[in-house]
Amino acid sequence: MSTADLVLGCMYFGTRTDDATSRAIVERFLERGGTTLDTADCYAFWASGTGAGGQSEEMLGRWFADNPGVRDEVVLATKVGPEPVPGRPGEVVGLAADVVTRSVQASLRRLRTDRIDLYWAHLEDRATPMAEIVATFGGLVADGTVGRIGISNHPTWRVEQARALAAVAGTEPFTALQLSTSYVRPRPDTVVPGKDHRFGFVSDETVDYVTEHPELELWAYSPLIQGSYDRADRPVPEPYDHPGTTRRLAELAYVAAELGATPGQVVLAWLLGGTPSIRPIVGVSSVAQLDEALDAAELTLTDEQRGRLDAAV
CA–CA gap between residue 20 and residue 25 (Å, rounded): 9
Give every residue of the chain whose pLDDT is below 70, as ranges. Answer: none
CA–CA gap between residue 303 and residue 214 (Å, rounded): 22
Q: Structure pTM?
A: 0.96
Q: Which one, of 266, 274, 256, lies nearest residue 202 by Cα?
A: 274
CB-based contact 262:294 (threshold 8 Å): no
pLDDT, residue 110, reads 98
Domains recognised in the chain with CATH numbers: 3-311 (3.20.20.100)
CA–CA gap between residue 308 and residue 305 (Å, rounded): 5
pLDDT, residue 85, reads 95
CB-based contact 179:209 (threshold 8 Å): no
CA–CA gap between residue 141 and residue 147 (Å, rounded): 6
Per-residue pLDDT of 219-247, as tens digits, reads 999 999 999 999 999 999 999 999 999 99
CA–CA gap between residue 200 and residue 193 (Å, rounded): 13
Kindly provide the residue ranges of all beta strands, DSSP E only, lying in the chain, ordered along the sequence. 7-9, 36-38, 75-80, 116-121, 146-152, 176-180, 217-221, 278-283
CB-based contact 187:239 (threshold 8 Å): yes
CA–CA gap between residue 3 and residue 75 (Å, rounded): 13
**Distance of alpha carbon 41 from its chain centroid, rounded?**
14
At residue 146, what are phi and psi to the nearest 5 degrees?
A: -130, 155
Q: What is the largest CA-CA distance in the chain?
A: 56
pLDDT, residue 90, reads 87
Spatial CB neighbours of 166, under 8 Å, sequence gap ≥ 6: 134, 138, 172, 173, 174
CA–CA gap between residue 299 and residue 260 (Å, rounded): 10
pLDDT, residue 242, reads 95
Spatial CB neighbours of 196, under 8 Å, sequence gap ≥ 6: none
Distances (CA, A) of 309 to 27, 67, 221, 270, 273: 34, 43, 20, 8, 12
